[in-house]
A and B are shown apart, each in its own frame.
Chain A
């Protein structure tokens, strides 16, 4: 489980755009292209090196009708996956 106070940002070689309700991510080091769905796009847009995991969670709770506990768990898992995939890093 990630710390609520952790702050994430996209890695320096990562470029992305939100296109409609999806995110297209290009990891430049290996020219890998990854697409995320609407929830993933929302999360990625919030990882700006300023917001903590707690801030991101609160912002998402305002957007999506889901209980706090489930979302917190899913967010933690997803952030771990983004980090393991080389898309984000702790700021």
Chain B
């Protein structure tokens, strides 16, 4: 049995295999195109809620746990939460902007949490561009220093970037930075709307020329992101694992099929993930839609279509033609 077949089985048999948890929407940067709904309110999950949630996930065979945000490291109980994840045997990913990954924080992360990988964000190949997007002066130079420290410490990391019209002319320089640090660079070709439906981030979407530049760079096969802890699976009836093998959870306990597909299917304050996962009509609908997307695209179409982002953009997760470039591969 190969890992690919295990993922396929998870998709087909609805085995919850990976979870992305947004611990907080607080952040120490202020990215222009941040997709988080910063106005969303609710009762934040407490440490004991996370502990119960993680235990349930482990009992459901979930292996991959990504801690995200906002900036997860600014959550006041980040280390307590992540330690629980580690103790329960999850393969941990930390999705961070990298701004505070230095000194004692960095050493604690390596020694206490030992994640499989830390994913950090690069917004350009120059201070002018990176800092323009993060709206924090000095963030570029600080990130480069932090990457050097991470490498020296032996922390496994990769670099993520979103292609925008501000940084599209620096794509070669961004790959050069990644190469300098010996880290893979994954470029998301799409800026997505905010989770509250605000389309203003799309104002800095990459231009068609920028997209061509990225895709002609010759590194796109390994540069375009795949989902958390999963491999692309061509033999499934489903288009993706959203709501079938994976979920996303926001800081207030709302559960979604995935980080892009912001259609709530339950809340952890009201029901356990075990209850939400089984016999859930909303999840069944998402799984059915995923099959429909697969069938719709079977006759040809973009291989990187994301039903979640499509629903955010158009109100429908089903692909229609012609497709807007921003509907292509928006994995975060």
1/0 per position for A17-40, CB-CB distance to B under 8 A? 111101010101001011111000
A18 to B, closest residue via Cβ: B61
Whole-angstrom distance between the alpha carbons of A23 and B198 in the complex? Answer: 43
Nearest Cβ on chain B to A48's Cβ, whole angstroms: 12
CB-CB under 8 A for A19 and B2, given A13-B114, A26-B116, A31-B116: no
Whole-angstrom distance between the alpha carbons of A31 and B91 in the complex? Answer: 10
A50 within 8 A of B: no
B296 within 8 A of A: no
CB-CB under 8 A for A24 and B90, given A19-B9, A19-B15, A31-B156: no
Residues of B within 8 A of A22 (CB): 1, 6
CB-CB under 8 A for A17 and B114, given A22-B1, A35-B3: no
Residues of chain B from 11 to 28 with CB closer than 8 A to chain A in the complex: 13, 15, 17
Residues of A within 8 A of B15 (CB): 19-20
B117 to A, closest residue via Cβ: A31
Indicate which residue in A19, A34, A36 contacts B17 across the interface (CB closer than 8 Å).
Answer: A19
Residues of B within 8 A of A26 (CB): 63, 91, 116
Indicate which residue in B17, B89, B117 contacts A15 across the interface (CB closer than 8 Å).
Answer: B89
Report the tally of A-B residue pairs with Cβ distances under 8 A. 50
Nearest Cβ on chain A to B272's Cβ, whole angstroms: 19
Residues of A within 8 A of B1 (CB): 22, 35-37
Q: Are B91 and A15 in contact (CB under 8 A)?
A: yes
B271 within 8 A of A: no
Q: Are A24 and B3 in contact (CB under 8 A)?
A: yes
Q: Are B3 and A33 in contact (CB under 8 A)?
A: yes
Residues of B within 8 A of A12 (CB): 114
Residues of A within 8 A of B117 (CB): 31
B3 to A, closest residue via Cβ: A33
Residues of chain B from 93 to 126 with CB closer than 8 A to chain A in the complex: 114, 116-117
B274 within 8 A of A: no
Residues of A within 8 A of B3 (CB): 24, 33-35
Q: What are 21 A-B pairs at a CB distance below 8 A?
A: A15-B91, A16-B89, A17-B58, A17-B61, A17-B62, A17-B63, A19-B6, A19-B15, A19-B17, A19-B61, A20-B13, A22-B1, A24-B63, A26-B63, A26-B116, A34-B3, A35-B2, A35-B3, A35-B6, A36-B1, A37-B1
Q: A15-B90, A28-B116, A31-B116 are in contact. List 7 more A-B contacts (CB 8 A).
A: A15-B91, A16-B89, A17-B62, A18-B61, A19-B10, A19-B61, A28-B91
